[in-house]
Amino acid sequence: MHRLNKWSPVTRTLILLALLAGLLSFAKFEHCRSTGWATPDIYVHACYSDIPSLFSGRALDNHQWAYNGGDNAVEYPVITGTIMWATSWLVPSGENSIRNYFDVNILFIVLLLIGTVLIVGKIRPQFAYLLPLSPAVIASLFINWDLWGIVSMLLAIYYFDRRRLRASSILLAVSIATKFFPVLLLAPIIFIFWRRNEIRAMGKYIITVTAIWFAINLPVMLTTPQGWWRFYKLNLDRGPDWGSIWYAFSLLGLNSKNLNYITILSLFAVLTAMMIYLLALPRTPTLTEVSFIFLAGVLCVGKVYSPQYVLWLVPLAVIALGNTRQLFGFWIWQVGEVIYHIAIWQHLALVQGAHFGPPAGGYAIATLIRIATTLYFIAILVRASLAERSPQAQDLHNRLVDFPFGTTTGYP
């Protein structure tokens, strides 16, 4: 790990870049902010945000507790719902309350972006500038409350690699209770513990994460169980949704039945590929090095791949970079994300009555481009790490691949 001095020129530069990213994102969302988020304007100008939409849509404008609404409760884990409810109290009622609610929340998001950039700067200072300069990050910054969970996830990774396991496990539990997506990090974490032969430490880590998560969730589970369960029910019951490869296939006429089973099998395929890759590495990897590869791979086969999910992946991609030769793959991936970002909003504009926008087939192709560029960047990172292997390790990798996927001449 590299150390960033508190007020060094690099630190000040990263803060300024983060502020610049916030200003650029604000400029992108300003049209919707000034026109009251009218449809189809929110799609034509690609400035849709869940923040104003859910303020009145979930009765937060009346300061209703986020999980009191039953089927109208917020569709997020406990910490995000609490933030949505708490920030509603910072907004005076009146005709500008929706705009004020948006402004209060994006102020916090910009502060969180600064914190995120600084954490990335501590982990990978030579590439930290990529995060605030990412066009996909700037475009998606104010769509949702994701930054609240991203900060704690990155801190959990940072402390895990520094062997501060108690702090890491607590922060990971907080992140999971904020957005749940970081629960996927437990897979590479378990592998790293197993490869280090630290089984007791692994058990303690998992128990701590579970206990803290339950401690955060239990009050809401007991007092408003229906509202608490809404997030998990929606994710279990949902079909192929925006951004997913399965939704793209359905738009192209390739409908698949039993999607839940297919996505489970696809997840197991990703886990198997990840295990083969990790076993082939010449040394135990850090969580910093493998988090992006695994989480991005899972998103590529998931039932939904929302535009703002890139906010989770870009910091993980930046800290996974090992050298400047990998920057080409990073920017190719960013191009894919920008293509998708434009395509989804213009397609939704067309659906909502605008006179232009890509049809369903065009949107599906943009989705596949996004997934293809993500897989391309994953392949670059994997290839770079496997290039460090000795000939003996390469032979082991070939035998590992042959075990589940190979053929044999030993049978007639």
Provide the pLDDT confidence category of residue 390 given band limits of 50, 70 and 90. Answer: low
Is the four-CA dihedral 184, 185, 186, 191 of positive or negative sign?
positive
Rounded to whole angstroms, how far apart are CA atoms 12 and 6? 9
Q: What is the dihedral of CA 56, 61, 67, 72, to 10 degrees?
A: -30
pLDDT tens readout for residues 52-79: 999 989 999 999 999 997 788 999 999 9
For the chain, the average pLDDT equals: 90
pTM of the predicted structure, to 2 decimals: 0.91
Q: How far is CA 161 from the centre of its chain?
A: 20
Give the range among 151-165, 210-224, 227-241 with minimum mean pLDDT: 227-241
Residue in 316, 309, 325, 310 with CA at minimum distance from that of residue 294: 316
Q: What is the pLDDT of residue 94?
A: 80
pLDDT tens readout for residues 225-244: 999 999 999 888 888 889 99
8 A C-beta contact, residue 207 and residue 223: no
Q: What is the pLDDT of residue 391?
A: 54
Angle between helices 186-196 and 259-280 (to 10 degrees): 30
Q: What is the pLDDT of residue 170?
A: 98
| DSSP for 133-198, written as a single string | H-HHHHHHTTSSSTHHHHHHHHHHHHHHHTT-HHHHHHHHHHHHHHHSGGGGGHHHHHHHHHHHT-
Q: Which of the pair, 204 or 396, is modelled with greater confidence?
A: 204
Is the four-CA dihedral 381, 157, 119, 3 of positive or negative sign?
negative
Give whichever of 34-38, 136-140, 251-255, 275-279 has the largest mean pLDDT.
Answer: 136-140
pLDDT tens readout for residues 73-115: 999 999 999 999 999 999 987 888 999 999 999 999 999 999 9
Q: What is the pLDDT of residue 388?
A: 72
